[in-house]
Structure 1
Amino acid sequence: MTIQILNTISVKSEDIRAQSNQEKIVEAGGLTSLLMLLGSSEDETIHRVAAGAIANLAMNETNQELIMTQGGIGLLSTTAANAEDPQTLRMVAGAIANLCGNDKLQLKLRGEGGIKALLGMVRCGHPDVLAQVARGIANFAKCESRASTQGTKTGRSLLIDDGALPWIVQNSNNEASPIRRHIELALCHLAQHEVNAKDMISGGALWELVRISRDCSREDIRTLAHRTLTSSPAFQAEMRRLRIDY
């Protein structure tokens, strides 16, 4: 039975990459079955393949909402907590990272432990897993920043509330470019909103923003960091206090 299930979801995982097949898979109950496998199976191989298929489905906004309403974050979080294989964690982190890019799901995703699940996976230390975690954090920060700009969100970042800032600062200059690129972007999005400035200053993020504005290989991120630093009264005051020539 386990082999039959594994073969079935392996086929689905390949098919899901084609956008034209996604609606058929969901209509046939494929998404529900994949989520059920995460909750009912103890086989990590099945978890890995199912999570990979869910990650592919989670690239579609409609599917993202279905995953959330069917308890997907809780199931993915439990799978991550019990997983030992870095490839399983990579698939789970990829699925959550895709969900982090949906503006409408931010509060629900955080409330059901999505951010903490991402942070919990950094224990693995595998660069592919860390890259997916970083992508999820960047996606979340971008959506959150947009909501703050539009006035639909107030208060400091949920990423800061859930304890993500130390890891973000620690990895903002990671030697692996996929990790570093996502984290640099996340820092810039967080820094655009003055309500986050105090925590970012005390957490060491100001120094990283200065470095990003000067040394980042991507001009758009350098420009964003520079604009953020020069427009923030809190950052400006702290740079004067520290006599940072800027």
Structure 2
Amino acid sequence: MEESREEEKQQKAMDGLKLRVQEMSQMNEEAASIINSLEAIKDQLLSEKDLLGKELKSSQEKLVSEELRLKSLEVQNADLNKLLANKRVASEDEVTKGTDKNIRPSSVVEFPTHLSKLSKPRETIRGQRATIAKNFEEVGLSNLLPLLKSENLELQTHAVRVIANLAAEDINQQRIVEEGGLDGLLLLLDCSKDATVQRLAAGAIANLAMNGLNQDLIICKGGARLLANMAPKSDDPQTLRMIAGAIANLCGNERLHMILKEDGGLKALLAMVGSNHSNVISQVARGMANFAKCECRNINQGNWKGRSLLIEDGALHWIVANCTAFYR
């Protein structure tokens, strides 16, 4: 009797344990299901976060571009107002000086369709770069430079064009380089597939290369090699003029001559003569003149006793063959 009760007790204990195991197993399954759901929600939230981040970046880029566009329109509007005022003054002067009292000044002034075709007052032309610099300060270089990496080609083109214009002024060059503008421009030379972007980037680098310190950085960061590699891939005269101008500026730094030669800068400069465009050839000739001037100075100072690097790369043959070609 006692054994039967003991067995019954043990059986109940076993049944209780089985029930507990089943309950725990069910709880584990429910927990796993909850964890999987939370993981799915987490992945969805991360995906939405990335999407919102991209949308925010795109909105910020569009905002900066819109600010630049509005400021450009403000400049154009100011130009139109000045031109209108000048037209009115000129018209009133003619009426005052005229002998026919029945002549009246016209109340309508006709403008050409494009502002670039207007005969702008001289003071307006002088003030354009100052206006660009002012707009640049208001928008901020920190907002402008990220647009160089924008996936929106229109924004990217607008940004590199503004930077190229700013780089023409000595006061802006150092700041552009210090805040990473040179790296962005070199990246465009290397990776961009758009001819306009590459042309503008080459022009910006040509402007930055007017500064001696920038020349060292351009060479050290592989700028001469990128320019040399880009030249044979383009047949656009404007692009070739920008590339030749950049290399010509680098030719004026004698400390960089050997690296410039090794990176293919001199050969690229000579090869661009084949474009047969006078603007390109003038930049090539300027580069050779800069290079030769530095070499002559080094020879006169006793710092160079070897053969001319220009002659080694075949420049002498072209110079002799074409020294009178453009005067015929």
Normalised TM-score (structure 2): 0.53
Distance in 2 between residues matched to 1:108 and 1:169, nearest whole Å? 25
Correspondence for 2:249: 98
The residue type equivalent to 1:107 in the other structure is M
| 2:309 pairs with 1:158 | yes
Unaligned runs of 5+ in 2: 1-151
C-alpha contact (below 8 Å) 1:99/1:105 kept by paired residues:
yes
Correspondence for 1:12: 163
Alpha-carbon shift at residue 23 of structure 1 (Å): 1.3
The residue type equivalent to 2:156 in the other structure is I
Larger radius of gyration: 2
Equivalent residues in 2 for 1:64-103, closer than 5 Å? 64-103=215-254
Equivalent residues in 2 for 1:8-157, closer than 5 Å? 8-157=159-308
Alpha-carbon shift at residue 5 of structure 1 (Å): 1.3
The residue type equivalent to 1:151 in the other structure is G
The sequence identity of aligned pairs, in percent, is 54
C-alpha contact (below 8 Å) 1:37/1:46 kept by paired residues:
yes
Q: 3-state DSSP class of the match of 1:106?
A: helix
Question: Once structures 1 and 2 are overlaid, which stretch shifts more, 91-100 or 37-46?
Answer: 37-46
Q: 3-state DSSP class of the match of 1:175?
A: helix
Distance in 2 between residues matched to 1:45 and 1:32, nearest whole Å? 18
Q: Deviations over 1:194-240 (max 9, x none)?
A: xxxxxxxxxxxxxxxxxxxxxxxxxxxxxxxxxxxxxxxxxxxxxxx
The residue type equivalent to 2:297 in the other structure is R
Q: Deviations over 1:82-116 (max 9, x none)?
A: 01100000000000000000011111111111110
C-alpha contact (below 8 Å) 1:127/1:176 kept by paired residues:
no
Alpha-carbon shift at residue 155 of structure 1 (Å): 1.7
Alpha-carbon shift at residue 63 of structure 1 (Å): 0.3
Distance in 1 between residues matched to 2:181 and 2:266, nearest whole Å? 26
The residue type equivalent to 1:93 in the other structure is A
Aligned length: 177
Aligned-residue RMSD, C-alpha: 1.2
Alpha-carbon shift at residue 174 of structure 1 (Å): 3.3
Alpha-carbon shift at residue 176 of structure 1 (Å): 5.5
Alpha-carbon shift at residue 17 of structure 1 (Å): 1.3
Distance in 1 between residues matched to 2:183 and 2:228, nearest whole Å? 17
